[in-house]
Structure formats: structure tokens, C-alpha cells
């Protein structure tokens, strides 16, 4: 008999949801299912990215998935069956979350242009830490569940026919322990915390890209490596990452500056380098963050004016950071506060203002108000920066998650290089490769969805085996 019916690696949204779903599904079937939830981080720390998140959720008012662009940006690149299942399962996922203590607030966004079909999104009260605590409290009530902190999985074990039968884990004392299991679920994130893997897949610039929250230092790509060692296939772009622009002055984690669409962004030489109006809010922030990291020496600056700041007063767009913007009644004065060359910034702003076309500025939609005669252009929201006081934020890019990972089917089974399921091995969450481009506000939803599906599937297979 194995030590556990299921072993789950990683205690973020995907791993905790898989564990809870498994326990409750076996309980409903009047069965006893045992599970070990393995976490590399120490008890009392905030390992991984889930606990640090205050996520946007791509939900419509009726808790269905906002599909606008979610499938289209990935069409022909990633698994559309996966996206369709995510959409089909979304009401069940939201119900699961709410049944387990997650309280959602729905927002109609009235200021910023979002790539969501209803200009609407949701967010959980309390953020990731409070939501995961709700899951873990419920897991702890099950006598057949063990949560093992400070245990680092290092290897998958297999029987003679290739079925995964457990893991080798490094214990807190440094010694190794083999834990046998009927099924193993990998839910331990990407490789943000592994500099060697980052450099291998994204190049030497990886050393210049800090992680956005401390917990993802535990996301070392171990699950990806272990599965690939036994023949797992991969999916998603390993050379791409999701980074965000954060306020360089802030000391709290995840001090993101959004809304680059509604001003101009310059580098340390006061030069614009990206079309700030090419896409909606989240996609633009991600694109400029990537450009800042790859090509701008990790330094960029958002410049805007009173018209914009008054419109967004009290909004999350510019107030996720705990620092107010630098302000001045002149562009030269703002440049000095930001450590930029005053004359160069004045010249850039003047050139931009002169290039702004006619038309009404409407930040809630792609308004077609564009520049002419300058490079790069600004395709939307090209409003002259003329009303004092002028505001600016110093920004740098920080890494949130990687794109590449393991290839799975819509049941969460890990596929081998011939696209056949590896017996006894599942995966959910960020460790599963999917993205080539990033449809915003989907990461937490897919972790909860496929974690829930995987846990239920393993429980149901256990039930079939016991009655077969």
C-alpha cells in the first residue's frame, strides 16, 4: 500500500484546490482518501506567488469567464480546448471558491479601457493569503491530510511499467525521504526563482529581472524538471515571461503602476520607446514592462498631467503603489525630481504634444485619438500633456511568472512527448505551459479551475479502482 493515495507538490491556489477537491470528493463518495500536501517553503512564510496576489479575475457580472480576446490572443498557438474548458467550468469554479470562504467584489471599470467584454472584473476580498488560509483551514480538518512544510520534492519515482508512484523529497534536516502515492499532482509553479533556468530560456538579461514578490523564490522549476526527466512534453513559450512595472520608490511588494496608456513613457534618456496606445491597459503595461527590461536598462518613467490624474483620483490604476507621484508645475521641474535631463524631457513632451491629433479623449475605449509624424506613434489616447501640475512615476520591470511549462490535457493529466498521458501524473496551475501571449486576469482562475478538476478526477479514479 502506498503512503498516500495522492501527493500534491505546491500549496498555492492550484495545489490547495486540488487537495481540497480530492478530500471532499472522496468524502462525498463515502470513501477515505489520504493526501500529502508538500511545500518547499517553511511554515509561517508566504511561499509561492498565490499568497502575495491581490488578483484581478476575468469574470463577467454573472461569474462567467470574459472570453473577449482570451481565446483570440492565443488562437493557433495554445490549446483552445483548454481555454474552452476553462470557460465552461468557470461557474463551477466560482461556486467552489465561494463555498470555501472566498468573497468576491465585482467592479464596473468606469475610467480605464480593459480588454474584457463587459468592461468589468472581480477581485477576492483579502487577497491571496486570506483566500488560501480559508482553503488550508478546511484541509486541516481532514484527518487523512498531511501538510508537510520545508519539504522539497526532488524526483518522481516510477514502477517498472512507467507509472508514477511517488516522489523523493528533501526533509528539513537535509536528508531524503521517499513518499509513495497512487497519484502525484505537480502544482509548484514555474521557474521564476531559478536564475539558471531563466538564463537558459530567456537569455543573460534574466539576471537584471528581479522577482515581484519574495515568495516566488521557491518557484525553481523543480516540477518541470522532474517531469521532463521521465519524458513529459512541454507547452507555452519558455522564452517569455509576464512582468509588471513597479514603482522604484516603493518598499512594499507588488507596487504596480498601471495606466501607461494615458501619458507617455520615456527611458533614462527622455526618449519615448513604445506606442503607449497600442492596446488595452493590462496588455500595454505588460508590453512596456518587457521592453523596459529587454531594451531600456530597466528604467522607464511615466509622464502625465492633471487631466489624467484628476480622472483617476482614488483609482487602483495609479494608487496600487504606496507612493504618490512626483509632481511639479513645470516639465523641467518634474524631470529634476525624477532624475532626468530637464531640457531633453521638455523637448520630448513638446514634440509629443505637437503630434497629437484632433478628437475627443476617451480613456474607457480605444478612442482613435492618435499622433502623426513621430516615432514611435501613439495609436490611442494621444492627449497633449499641458495641464499642470505634471506627474511622473519612476518604474522598473519585475518578474511575476513564466510562460513555459508542462503539457497537459483538459483533465490535467501530464502528457509525454508522444502526447500520451503519463500514468499517475497530473499538473495544474502555472507549472502547466499554456501562454504564448498573456490574456490578463486568467492565471488565478485557471489555477483554481484545473486544481479543482484534477482533485476530483483523482478521487473518482480512486472510487473506480475500489469498486472495480
Task: Pick the closest to residue 366 from 299, 433, 463, 280 (CA basis).
Answer: 280
Tell me the per-residue pLDDT of 290-337, one tens digit each, with 9 for 90 and over.
999 999 999 999 999 999 999 999 999 999 999 999 999 999 999 999
- Would you say domain 4-239+403-467 falls under CATH 3.50.50.60? yes
Instruction: Work out the percent of the chain whose per-residue pLDDT is above 70.
Output: 96
**pLDDT tens for each residue of 373-388:** 999 999 999 999 999 9
Report pLDDT for 437.
81
Q: How confident is the model at residue 289 (pLDDT cuts 50, 70, 90)?
A: very high
Question: How confident is the model at residue 323, as a pLDDT?
Answer: 95
- Quickly count: other Cβ atoms within 10 Å of residue 350's Cβ: 13
% of the chain residues with pLDDT over 90: 90
Confidence label for 390 from pLDDT (cuts 50, 70 and 90)? very high
Count of C-beta atoms within a 10 Å radius of residue 345:
25
Of 14, 401, 222, nearest in space to 22 by CA: 14
Asked whether residue 466 carries a pLDDT value surpassing 70, the answer given is no
The pLDDT, as a whole number, for residue 252 is 87
Architecture (CATH level 2) of domain 242-398 = Alpha-Beta Complex (3.90)
- Residue 67's pLDDT band, with cuts at 50, 70 and 90, is confident
Residue 20 has phi, psi (to 5 degrees) of -65, -40
> In angstroms, rounded to a whole number, what is the distance separating the alpha carbons of residues 419 and 398?
34
What pLDDT score does 51 carry?
A: 92
| CA–CA dist 113, 106 (Å, integer) | 16
Could you report the per-residue pLDDT of 325-370, keeping only the tens digit for each?
A: 999 999 999 999 999 999 999 999 999 999 999 999 999 999 999 9
Q: Coil, strand, or helix at residue 169?
A: strand
* pLDDT for the residue numbered 465: 63
**Given a cut of 50, is residue 417 above it in pLDDT?**
yes
* Mean pLDDT computed over 442-468: 88
pLDDT tens, residue by residue, 422-434: 999 999 999 999 8
The whole-angstrom separation of Cα 360 and Cα 365 is: 11
Read off the pLDDT of residues 137-159 as tens digits, 9 standing for 90 and up. Answer: 999 999 999 999 999 999 999 99
pLDDT given at position 73:
47
Res 285: pLDDT: 96
Report the predicted TM-score, pTM, of the whole model to 2 decimal places: 0.95
| CA separation for the pair 373, 349 (Å, rounded) | 14
Domain ranges in the chain are 4-239+403-467, 242-398
How is residue 379 written as a grid cell?
Answer: 495609436
Please give the pLDDT value at position 75. 53
DSSP assignment letter at 38 = E
Please check the confidence at residue 76 and state whether its pLDDT lies above 80: no
Q: Find the mean pLDDT for residues 38-61.
A: 93
User: What is the chain's alpha carbon radius of gyration, rounded to the nearest angstrom?
Assistant: 24
Residue 467 pLDDT > 80: no
Does residue 98 have a pLDDT over 70? yes
pLDDT digits 0-9 by tens, 215-257: 999 999 999 999 999 999 999 999 999 999 999 999 888 899 9
Q: Contacts from 160-163 at CB under 8 Å and sequence distance 24+?
A: 161/423, 162/230, 162/422, 162/423, 163/423, 163/424
Q: What angle do CA 243, 246, 251 make, to 5 degrees?
A: 130
Least confidently predicted of 200-204, 392-396, 413-417: 200-204
C-alpha cell recorded at residue 180: 509513495
Distances in Å between the Cα of 121 and the Cα atoms of 68, 117, 347 are 12, 10, 39
Amino acid at each position: 500500500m502506498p503512503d498516500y493515495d495522492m501527493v500534491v507538490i505546491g500549496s498555492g491556489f492550484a495545489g490547495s484546490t486540488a487537495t481540497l477537491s480530492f478530500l471532499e470528493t472522496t468524502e462525498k463518495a463515502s470513501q477515505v482518501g489520504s493526501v500529502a500536501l508538500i511545500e518547499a517553503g517553511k511554515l509561517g512564510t508566504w511561499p509561492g506567488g498565490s499568497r502575495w496576489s491581490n488578483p484581478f479575475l476575468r469574470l463577467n457580472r454573472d461569474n462567467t469567464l470574459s472570453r473577449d480576446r482570451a481565446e483570440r490572443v492565443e488562437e493557433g498557438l495554445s490549446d483552445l480546448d483548454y481555454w474552452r474548458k476553462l470557460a465552461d467550468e468557470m461557474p463551477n469554479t466560482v461556486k467552489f471558491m465561494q463555498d470555501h470562504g472566498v468573497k468576491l467584489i465585482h467592479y464596473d471599470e468606469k475610467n480605464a479601457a480593459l480588454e474584457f467584454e463587459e468592461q468589468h472584473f472581480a477581485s477576492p476580498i483579502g487577497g491571496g493569503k486570506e483566500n488560501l488560509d480559508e482553503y488550508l483551514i478546511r484541509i486541516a480538518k481532514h484527518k487523512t491530510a498531511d501538510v508537510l512544510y520545508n519539504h522539497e520534492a526532488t524526483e518522481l519515482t516510477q514502477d517498472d511499467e512507467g507509472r508514477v508512484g511517488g516522489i523523493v523529497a528533501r526533509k528539513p534536516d537535509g536528508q531524503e525521504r521517499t513518499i509513495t502515492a497512487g497519484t502525484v499532482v505537480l502544482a509548484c509553479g514555474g521557474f521564476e526563482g531559478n536564475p539558471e533556468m531563466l538564463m537558459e530560456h530567456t537569455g543573460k538579461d534574466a539576471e537584471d529581472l528581479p522577482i515581484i514578490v519574495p515568495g516566488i523564490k521557491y518557484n525553481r522549476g523543480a516540477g518541470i524538471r522532474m517531469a521532463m526527466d521521465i519524458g513529459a512534453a512541454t507547452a507555452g513559450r519558455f522564452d517569455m515571461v509576464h512582468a509588471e512595472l513597479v514603482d522604484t520608490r516603493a518598499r512594499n511588494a507588488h507596487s504596480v503602476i498601471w495606466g501607461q496608456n494615458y501619458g507617455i513613457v520615456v527611458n533614462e534618456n527622455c526618449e519615448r520607446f513604445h506606442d503607449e496606445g497600442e492596446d488595452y491597459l493590462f496588455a500595454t503595461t505588460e508590453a512596456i514592462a518587457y521592453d523596459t527590461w529587454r531594451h531600456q536598462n530597466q528604467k522607464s518613467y511615466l509622464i502625465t498631467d492633471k487631466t489624467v490624474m484628476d480622472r483617476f483620483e482614488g483609482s487602483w490604476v495609479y494608487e496600487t503603489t504606496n507612493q504618490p507621484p512626483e509632481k511639479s508645475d513645470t516639465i523641467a521641474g518634474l524631470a529634476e525630481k525624477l532624475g532626468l535631463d530637464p531640457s531633453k524631457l521638455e523637448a520630448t513632451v513638446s514634440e509629443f504634444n505637437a503630434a497629437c491629433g484632433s478628437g475627443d479623449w476617451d480613456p474607457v475605449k480605444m478612442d482613435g485619438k492618435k499622433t502623426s509624424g513621430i516615432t514611435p506613434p501613439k495609436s490611442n489616447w494621444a492627449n497633449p500633456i499641458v495641464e499642470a501640475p505634471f506627474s511622473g512615476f519612476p518604474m522598473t520591470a519585475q518578474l511575476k511568472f513564466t510562460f513555459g511549462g508542462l503539457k497537459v490535457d483538459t483533465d490535467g493529466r501530464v502528457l509525454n512527448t508522444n502526447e500520451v498521458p503519463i500514468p499517475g501524473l497530473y499538473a495544474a496551475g502555472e507549472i502547466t505551459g499554456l501562454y504564448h501571449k498573456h490574456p490578463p486576469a486568467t492565471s488565478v482562475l485557471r489555477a483554481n479551475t484545473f486544481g479543482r478538476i484534477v482533485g476530483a478526477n483523482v478521487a473518482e479514479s480512486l472510487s473506480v479502482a475500489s469498486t472495480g
